[in-house]
Amino acid sequence: MIRRSWLSAAAVAALLLVSAPAAQAQSADVQRSFRAFLDRDIRPAARAQGVPDSVLDDALGGLTPDMSLPDLVKPGDDGAVAEFNAQAEFKSPAAYMSEKALAGTAARGRALLAEHRAVLARIEAAYGVPAPIVVAIWGRESAFGTADIRHDAFRVLATKAHLSRRKAMFREELLAALRIAAEGHLPASKMRSSWAGALGQPQFMPTKYLQLAVDFDGDGRKDIWDSVPDALASIANYLRQSGWQPGRDWGFEATIPAGLSCATEGPDVSRTIRQLVSAGAARVSGRPFPERELAGTGHVLMPAGRFGPAFVATPNFYVIKAYNNSDLYALFVGHLADRMAGAKPFRAPWQTPPGGAMTRGDVYRMQQRLVALGYDVGSVDGLAGFKTRRSIGAFEAKSGRPETCWPTPALARSLG
């Protein structure tokens, strides 16, 4: 027994001695390929878009990849998703919708609605987006402009353009960030971002800044970093250009009876709200849906399947998703805006599914099995989006199970 322990320790030590040089060699290879990527691809492409060498040197000179970023495909990786979620929007619905966080953010948002009433009225008149929605996004994205955004944007974007699963997208974002610096909007040395490369108080990706940022305070700069009017108006412009329908709400918490299948969820399944009411949908408040909404398009929304609150969403909900492609994000924003206007907390609880929550890797493997059975889960990415949820519901119905439209360990076992 003693000898086996000694041999095990010796074996571990030997493995460490062997693996350390291998890891160092791999790191050196990544550094070389990263530098070649910047010099042979990004610099020529940026020069072709008018970015001068002085900006390229400031932004890219001495840059090294940040291997601590999530969702990288590192040398030797098999390309599978990370077992655990890194992004808040794709973790537990109950944690994301924490009542403590919502109540505190709503209180701060109400104060800021009053403080910036005049500029928000002008923004709403110009873009048709309600002030509480704009302020809710501001609060969610950067804690109303107070968040410490500390990553070097160029290091983040260059690393992801070279090593992430979405290389082409981040390459475009990196080139856009170089153009922002070249056009004088912000010096390269001051360009900080989130770990995903998003900029400023509204957390715009660089391409969205170039397309949608506005100068609302009239000083000649589209300053989403230090100008509250520019930041808020840019958010409103983003939503309006993404299809926001003035005069409509984002959605309503509702009861969705068993006869109205959770597998009919999604923006591509449209009925009028009047038809949903006829099928049994009802507001949890007990009040009828506003008369102005009844003839408009409505969608079943069940972001936690049958294990959480349900909603009748309008197309504006999916416009919020254009800002951040997460049901929980859009729901947080819409509900936060309502809370600023005096609404109460969610009526239905966010439940823990039987067997507990599944990891992103668990959901990824479940999606693979559903695809093999012919179901459309959207992207096989380990995230329970609406296509995955409704495919689960369809499988449950076909196999004689109650429809929950949510991934559970029991369902994973049944899929084999």
Report pLDDT digits (tens) over 190-210: 999 999 999 999 999 999 999
Residue 135: its pLDDT value, please? 98
**What confidence score (pLDDT) does residue 81 get?**
63
Read off φ and ψ for residue 365, nearest 5 degrees: -70, -35
pLDDT for 82 beyond 50 = yes
Q: Is the pLDDT of residue 88 over 80?
A: no
Is the confidence at residue 26, as pLDDT, over 90? no
Quickly list H helices, 183-298: 206-212, 228-241, 273-278, 291-294
Residue 128 clears pLDDT 80, i.e. is over it: yes
Strand-pairing partners, residue 72, are 164
Q: What is the mean pLDDT of residues 107-118?
A: 98
Helix axis angle for 386-398 and 360-372, nearest 10°, is: 60
Q: Is the predicted pLDDT of residue 2 greater than 50, yes or no? A: no
State the first-to-last Cα distance of the chain, in angstroms, to the nearest integer. 40
- Does 3 have pLDDT greater than 80? no
Question: Tens digits of per-residue pLDDT, 287-331?
Answer: 999 999 999 999 999 999 999 999 999 999 999 999 999 999 999
Percentage, residues of the chain above pLDDT 90: 84
309-328: b (≥16 Cβ within 10 Å) or e? bbbbbbbbbbbbbebbebbb
pLDDT at residue number 166: 93
* Res 48: pLDDT: 98
Q: Which residues contact 78 (CB under 8 A, 6 or more apart)?
A: none
Map tokens 């944690």 to a residue.
Answer: 95
According to DSSP, the β-strands at 151-152 and 251-255 are unpaired
Amino acid at 379: S
**pLDDT for the residue 73:** 87
pLDDT of residue 27: 81
What average pLDDT does this structure show over 251-279? 97
pLDDT digits (tens, 9 = 90+) for 320-332: 999 999 999 999 9
